[in-house]
Homo-oligomer: A and B are copies of this chain.
């Protein structure tokens, strides 16, 4: 559900931007990324199979539904961002 993902994505904007384009050179662009890749990475951060000091704690509380919504939302954004 893209709309639910948009709501959940508010917490992501500080680093990943309002349009899904990373705000630092180290922060990946998520806009237009593959939905399954995005959800797989969030699951990996949540399980700990992929580690990042910022993403790991943020992913910990996410439900499967949150992850699906976030992945759908960011995948739906134009890859070139809004700028």
* B-binding residues in A (CB < 8 A): 22, 25-29, 31-37, 40, 49-51, 78-81
A75 → chain B closest CB, angstroms: 10
With A79-B80, A80-B80 as known contacts, state yes or no: A32 contacts B34, CB within 8 Å: no
A37 touches B22 (CB 8 A): yes
The reply to whether B37 and A27 form a contact with Cβ atoms under 8 Å apart is yes
Q: Are A29 and B26 in contact (CB under 8 A)?
A: no
Other-chain residue from B25, B78, B81 in contact with A36 (beta carbon distance below 8 A)? B25
A49-B51, A51-B49, A80-B80 are known contacts. Are A29 and B22 too (CB-CB below 8 A)?
A: no
**Which residue from B25, B27, B34, B49 sits with its C-beta under 8 Å from A22?**
B34
A14 to chain B, nearest CB (A): 16
